[in-house]
Amino acid sequence: MEPTFYGLLVFLIIGSIVALEMKDILSSVIAVGVVGLALSILFLLLGAPDIAITQVVVEIIVVTVLIRAAARSGRVEMTRRPDLVSTVLGLILVLCFCGFALAALETLRPFGGARPLVGHWYLVNAEAGTGCANAVMAILLDFRGYDTLGEATVILTAILGAVVLLRPKAREEEAEPAVVPGVPAEVAHE
């Protein structure tokens, strides 16, 4: 597992850099899709099939939407000159982040090792307490139902907001020039 795992990690980093640096937005979207699929294989190797499935499925629908949107907007060329100040600032930020992350990782328990008290209780009591053979579902929908309710509310609000803002009627209202009373529309438009 180890060489595959680290190979995929390096592949993820390279893919992300490619996605960031591509000039063509369609190629960038495809690179993002490749990164997402590699990430799902990583989750599978780490023993989290639930998250792997979610990752793969969400990645597919997001990439479909993005490709469709990119195809609609035509060939958008990203032209951005590298700026010395922002590059230096970015490097400093990356170094700071890596330092903090290393310091934080040292306090973590070893991967797959002893579980915290609550997590262990959930794992032991999942089947008896809820009847779910799948412990992930037992936690999501029963023990931590409140979290899922909040999640559902967030998705509902986000989707309704997007639909309200992007529906054709709203676009037409935005596209039409404002009508000034007493002035013919052509004159006002000129």
Partner 1 sequence: MNDGPGMSLIVRMVSRWLLGFVFVYGLGVALFGHLTPGGGFVGGVVVACALVMSILAFGGKQGPGAFLARAVTTLDAAGALMFLALALFGYVAGCFFTNWIARGEPATFGSTWFVILMNVAILVKVGAGAFAGFLAIVAFGHILDAEEGRP
Query: Which positions from 82 through 101 interact with partner 1, judged by CB under 8 A?
Result: none
| Token digits of residue 143 | 């023990």
- 43 and 8 in contact (C-beta within 8 Å)? no
By the rule CB under 8 A, 131 interacts with partner 1: yes
Q: How far apart are CA 150 and CA 156, in angstroms?
A: 10
Site stretch for partner 1 (CB under 8 A), options 26-34, 63-71, 88-96, 102-110: 63-71
Q: Which residue, 82 or 131, has its beta carbon nearer to partner 1? A: 131
- Binder of partner 1 out of 13, 69, 93, 180 (CB under 8 A): 69
- 16 and 35 in contact (C-beta within 8 Å)? yes
How large is the greatest C-alpha to C-alpha distance in the chain, in angstroms?
77
106 conformational bin, left if phi > 0, alpha if psi -120 to 50, beta if neither? alpha
Query: Which positions from 43 through 62 interact with partner 1, judged by CB under 8 A?
Result: 49-50, 52-54, 57-58, 60-61
Q: Which residue, 8 or 132, has its beta carbon nearer to partner 1? A: 132
By the rule CB under 8 A, 72 interacts with partner 1: yes
What are the C-alpha distances in Å from 133 to residues 108, 129, 142?
28, 10, 13
**Contact residues: partner 1, CB under 8 A:** 49-50, 52-54, 57-58, 60-61, 64-65, 68-69, 72, 127, 129-134, 136-138, 140-142, 145-146, 148-149, 152-153, 155-156, 158-160, 162-163, 165-168, 171
